[in-house]
Amino acid sequence: MSSLLYLQFSKASPAIQQLSEEYQNRIQSMALIHEQLYRSEDLANIDFSQYLKNLTHNICQSYGCNTGSIKIKLLVEQVKVPLEQSIPLGLIIQELVSNALKHAFPTTEGEISIKFTSMNSHYSLQVWDNGVGISRDIDLENTDSLGMQLIYSLTEQLQGELHYEYVGGAQFGLEFSL
């Protein structure tokens, strides 16, 4: 599907090409889960630490952060996540990291950290950066941003709670249980 989008929009305006690339990244995020699932003996759960390594590598390739000026730090336990939660969780991470790469670092230097832990059936995701942050004047739940709308919709799908803080950059926290 990503290749079809690329072919369809390769001669479009830069704005349309950027939208196409964002959709391709979302598709890739879901495809990675299925690829990992097919390689696994456990067809119901995803090794989420490995998935996050693959996902952030692909995001960096897409946004060109492999040059070393923006670093992504993973603080992830060896956690198995059921397939039904892996897809929305992966898309949320895709959106948060992509948003940080696009908007948080006007000087193109910085760090994005992702922490994912679980205790019993409770999961905690934290994504933060040391960039410029998001203006406190913006109501993130009622923004026109498709990415933020998608994040809130997927949070509801997980029956989770999303929190945002400005602490020397943007910091998002997501809590959900199975």
Neighbouring C-beta atoms of residue 147, cutoff 10 Å: 18
Q: Tokens for 118, please give them.
A: 């679980």
Residue 25: exposure state from Cβ atoms within 10 A (0-12, 13-18, ≥19): buried
Task: Please tell me the total number of residues recorded for the chain in this structure.
Answer: 178
Q: What is the pLDDT of residues 102-145, one digit of tens each?
A: 889 887 789 999 999 999 889 999 999 999 988 877 788 888 88
pLDDT for 143 equals: 85
154: containing domain: 2-177
CA distance 7 to 14: 14
Which ranges of 64-164 does DSSP label H, i.e. alpha helix? 83-103, 146-157
Higher-pLDDT residue of 55, 16: 55
Place of tokens 């959709």: 23
CATH number for 94: 3.30.565.10
Which ranges of the chain does DSSP label H, i.e. alpha helix? 2-9, 14-39, 48-63, 83-103, 146-157
pTM of the prediction? Answer: 0.82
Residue 22's pLDDT band (cuts 50, 70, 90): low
Q: Tokens for 7, please give them.
A: 């072919």
pLDDT (mean) for 44-67: 85
Domain total for the chain? 1
